[in-house]
Amino acid sequence: MPKYVLFYESADDVASKAPAHFPAQQEDGSMAIFTTRQAAEAFARSDPFVLNGVVRRWSVREWNEAIARS
């Protein structure tokens, strides 16, 4: 069963905007994994980072999990 990865690209001024919403935010972007595309999109559309311009753009991609055996 595929999963869906939500990618965020940080805005240029993330260092000045992010602390108001989450003090420990890193400056290079982020990703999260969801079980449905709809859940990923709903999360992004209501995320304070997206709503307040901390995230420049976001995208959702289908992801097939692979686990390597050692």
pLDDT digits (tens, 9 = 90+) for 12-55: 776 666 666 555 545 566 778 999 999 999 999 998 888 888 88
Which pLDDT does position 22 carry in this prediction? 59
Cβ-count burial 58-69 (b if 16+ within 10 Å, e if not): bebeeeeeeeee
8 falls in which pLDDT band (50, 70, 90)? confident
Q: How far is CA 61 from the centre of its chain?
A: 11
Domain boundaries, the chain: 3-63
pLDDT reported for residue 19: 63
Task: Give domain 3-63's CATH number out of 3.40.50.2300, 2.60.40.10, 3.40.50.2030, 3.30.70.1060.
Answer: 3.30.70.1060
